[in-house]
Structure 1
Amino acid sequence: MDDGESLGALFEEHRPRLRAVAYRLLGSAGEADDAVQEAWLRLSRNGTAGVDNLAAWLTTVVSRVSLNMLRARAARREDPLDPGPAHPGPGAGAGAGTGAGTDLVEARAAHADRTAAPDPEEEALLADSVGLALLVVLDTLSPAERLAFVLHDMFAVPFEEIGLLLERSPTAARQLASRARRRVRGAPSTAAAPDLARRRRVVEAFLAASRTGDFEALVGLLDPEVVLHADGEIVPEGKPVVRIGRDAVARGAVLASVRSRFAEPALVDGTVGLVTALGGRLFCVLTFTVTEDRITGIEVVGAPERLRDLEIALLDA
């Protein structure tokens, strides 16, 4: 084995951890692979001369590359999102074609500021392993907050090293992580807190029935006069949609069963809702009105300006 092969084998030992770091920082399998590849290119050019701790050195390289990508992404936030034909989240698909779930996956995979779209199935598996809601919340943080939180809270990187990466003091890095932690955890609203567990059971049951296409279970969860509103940005026609009655809403949820695998419960404005995302980027949010264990209203939010106004956090495990 020559030196190049030896160096490559050494790098492969660290690849899983580096990819885990990059994926949590970027929320995208494609972008994570790009960051890891850049780390390998730098290692292959420079070798290990002068490197006392290869794992720490590689983590620093991946983190710096990811931070630059996050900053570039933040600078493009104001660019209009054009993911192609849009489709609703779970429960909003009444009247949509049966292939709409695949269209949604392909549309969101094509967007994410990368040169090559990742495999949607891989994105789904990665999101499941990390937590889709967590990725959505992380995407609301500033690049510095996200890096400080991910490196310290998920990978136990000392604040001294994080401060060097961010060109800030360890104390400033600690404050960034603390601020991010508060955003990630959130807090139930005063009104929702007493019945949060009950609402969560109803929303989780709705999601489970949507994923399996269980029409009867959905009907049992919905009030006979349930009303669903969906923003025009997430339906094929591009116009706001209103569905009235549990049969119509349940049929829509059945049609959206494929897309439901990309949804997860989260705390939305202090109460339980569903977030739908791919590639770590928020696509739409479902909020629910629950009365006596029946869903009486569903709001499917997909307009970018409305999504930006929502406060999303994790539910307690």
Structure 2
Amino acid sequence: MRIHALELEAFGPFPDRVALDLDALSADGVFLIAGPTGAGKTTLLDAICFGLYGRVPGARNDAQALRSQFADPAARTAVTVEFSARGRRYRVERSPAYERPAKRGGGTTLQRASAQLWVCEDEQWAGRARTMAEVSDIVYDAVGLSAEQFTKIIMLPQGDFAAFLRADPQEREPILERLFGTERFATAARELGAAATRARGRIDNVSQERLRLIAQAAELAAAAGPVPPDMGERAPENPSAAAVDAALSVALTVAREDDETAQASARLAAADEDAARAGAEAIAERLRLRERVDRAG
């Protein structure tokens, strides 16, 4: 943000119009506002705050105190601030509420507070807001600070800087985040945290599925035959894919060995049956031969 120009009329100790070209004053880099007590140094800073936010810091935020007591009764009290922020140039004009001479019947009447804002487009000023609420919203979006934050870190009142440094970290954090534009890092941290939570959920689901497979492998191995000692060990809380593969491999090995044993037993039983059949046939043949011999004798 950069303030280019300041105009004030019937504001504070200045009864007449005062215009400051801050670009010209800052041509050498920095400039100093100096003068005796009561000359209006603080009023210039108050005018900047009032022009932007419609208020000034501390107890001075009083409409009666904002209007110059030395101004002509018919003079209009107003402040105009021209500034640039986020690549755009703005002009905002504000007027506080104050008593002015009535146009009819004598006496005074209340001049209501007002605000207007223009944006420079193609080197022309285009009106963008005519209510105080609209102007405040645009200024906040452009500057990135509320009135309270602006007066704490930009227009810091005398003696308040130490109080800001001693403030609670939770109070300073949002101000410094907006000042240095670190909200994007907080947003990224929140998004990464949410992604990590989702990833942990998926990992938990995979772990549960792996534990189920390991338990099924142990049941299959137990049903097939004696369980190897390492199958009886409790599976880790978050088993790896390798652990699942190992459990399934053991279960398959046990099942395969049991199947091979069953097949061997079946083959042996079949062989015994063939041998018994062959023995029976040999005995029957001997009996038939003996009968033929007996008949021949």
- TM-score class, shorter: under 0.3
TM-score, normalised with respect to structure 2:
0.23
TM-score, normalised with respect to structure 1:
0.22
Greater RCO, CA 8 A, separation 6+:
1
